[in-house]
Amino acid sequence: MMRLLIHDLETKDFQKLFPDMSSDMMVISDNGTIHHCIGCFGCWVKTPAACVIRDEYGDMGELLSKCSEVIVISKCCYGGFSPFVKNVLDRSISYIHPYFEIRNGEMHHRRRYNNKINLKVWFYGKNITETEKITAERLVKANAVNLDCSTSKVAFIGSIKEMEQLAECNVLVFAFPIYVDGIPSHLLNCLMQLESFFSAKEEKDIIVYSIANCGFYEGHQAAIAIEMMKNWCIKAGLCWGQGVGVGAGGMLTSIKNVPIGYGPKKSLGAAFEKLAKNILEHSSGEDIFITADFPRTLYKLAAEMGWRKSIKANGMKKKDLSLKK
Ligand SMILES: Cc1cc2nc3c(=O)[nH]c(=O)nc-3n(C[C@H](O)[C@H](O)[C@H](O)COP(=O)(O)O)c2cc1C
């Protein structure tokens, strides 16, 4: 059984994204010559199992019958596929049989072939709206029922160009704050998009490092988020390099003139030196958890003084910090 990739990317973008295409992957791309389906049902009643239009896309049904996986990469248009990808799908109905059967309580066509396809779809495009995403997910599910196949993925990607740039990197460094003991939701969203992107790539020699900044004093409070980054690496098929959990992060902006490696930033300097060495050598290291070289009681006093200053700057009083609604 083969894998089939149907995409609407420009050749140069496709080559950048998939420089290492494996031999069991067939690729259907836009060479500008595709004719649209004329709705004649000739693929069922005139030249059964083949399209009557004999361009390069006339045997889509047969091609689908040889696949166990179909990956679609399409610009998201109004919650659906781009004209080219839709054209390929319209030209693919010879994959199914003209007779009907009831599936999912609805009328659909019978199978012509016995192969089981798993359909994975990546939609890309700037400003894909939430309603377009809902429509696109419904569409892929409907397609899966119609073609009697399974679907394991519908992913949305903001920009193919950004993905290309990431694919060219061999080191990724994530630096993020800790929110409620974990990874902030916007970074999570980004990680999920990247996971679908990287997990579909064949060869990747990418190593991931993470720096997590805690508001609390103890750097080890970043350990769960660092663990999540490691779990993400496994799902995305990338290598883990090293994590650094930094405590007392709230202080860093107020001591930005202190050079790294000195005073309260002594441990930070040592940790970043080890991290930088590993990054340069493309190697892995033990996770490091550090805090400011500054007493916890003083950090607490300074931070709480900061909250008081901030609430006063907003025209309220110190006691308003304890307001209830
Ligand atoms: C919604 C929210 C939740 C937070 N939860 C935590 C937390 O669970 N543990 C912690 O140490 N800091 C927490 N913080 C504090 C941030 O991690 C802290 O301000 C950090 O220094 C910000 O890093 P940055 O300057 O890199 O954005 C939270 C901050 C916000 C806004």
The model's confidence at residue 197, banded by pLDDT at 50, 70 and 90, is confident
The model's confidence at residue 116, banded by pLDDT at 50, 70 and 90, is very high
Whether the predicted pLDDT of 200 surpasses 80: no
Which atom, in ligand 1's list, is nearest to the CA of 175?
A: 26
CA 202 to chain centre: 15
Q: Are strands 106-111 and 96-103 parallel, antiparallel or unpaired?
A: antiparallel
Helix, coil or strand: residue 31: coil
Helix, strand, coil percent values for the chain (each to nearest 5): 40, 25, 35
DSSP 175-190: EEE-BTTB--HHHHHH
Distance in angstroms (rounded) separating the CA atoms of residues 1 and 298: 65
Q: Which residue has the tokens 């490696």?
A: 261
pLDDT given at position 133: 95
Domain boundaries, the chain: 2-158, 169-294
pLDDT given at position 20: 73
β-sheet with 25-28: strand ranges across: 25-28, 2-7, 67-75, 118-124, 150-157
pLDDT given at position 176: 97
Whether the predicted pLDDT of 60 surpasses 90: yes
- Percent of the chain clearing pLDDT 70 (strictly above): 100
**Cβ(184) – ligand 1 distance below 6 Å:** no
Whether the predicted pLDDT of 239 surpasses 80: yes
Mean pLDDT of the chain: 94
Helix, coil or strand: residue 82: coil
**pTM, entire model:** 0.73
Whether the predicted pLDDT of 204 surpasses 80: no
pLDDT given at position 159: 82
pLDDT given at position 15: 87
Q: Which CATH number fits the domain 169-294, given the four candidates 3.90.25, 3.40.50, 3.10.350, 3.30.479? A: 3.40.50
Q: What is the mean pLDDT of residues 154-172?
A: 85
**Cβ(181) – ligand 1 distance below 6 Å:** yes
Distance in angstroms (rounded) separating the CA atoms of residues 5 and 25: 7
Q: Which residue did the predictor score with more confidence, 247 or 202?
A: 247
The best mutation among 183, 214, 254, 255 to test binding of ligand 1, ranked by most ligand atoms within 8 Å of the C-beta, falls on 214
Whether the predicted pLDDT of 161 surpasses 90: no
Q: Which range is least confidently modeled, 17-31, 181-195, 262-276?
A: 17-31
Distance in angstroms (rounded) separating the CA atoms of residues 110 and 113: 9
Fold (CATH) for 2-158: Rossmann fold (3.40.50)
Residue nearest to atom 4 of ligand 1 (CA): 179
pLDDT given at position 21: 75
Q: Say if 2-158 and 169-294 have the same CATH topology.
A: yes
Residue nearest to atom 24 of ligand 1 (CA): 177
**Cβ(221) – ligand 1 distance below 6 Å:** yes
pLDDT given at position 274: 98
The model's confidence at residue 103, banded by pLDDT at 50, 70 and 90, is very high
The model's confidence at residue 143, banded by pLDDT at 50, 70 and 90, is very high
Residue nearest to atom 20 of ligand 1 (CA): 215
- CB neighbours of residue 206 within 10 Å: 19
Helix, coil or strand: residue 225: helix
Distance 187 CA to ligand 1 centre (A): 13
Q: What is the mean pLDDT of residues 274-278?
A: 98
pLDDT given at position 242: 98
The model's confidence at residue 164, banded by pLDDT at 50, 70 and 90, is confident
Which atom, in ligand 1's list, is nearest to the CA of 176?
A: 26
The best mutation among 173, 174, 176, 178 to test binding of ligand 1, ranked by most ligand atoms within 8 Å of the C-beta, falls on 178
Whether the predicted pLDDT of 48 surpasses 90: yes
Q: Which range is least confidently modeled, 13-17, 108-112, 248-252?
A: 13-17
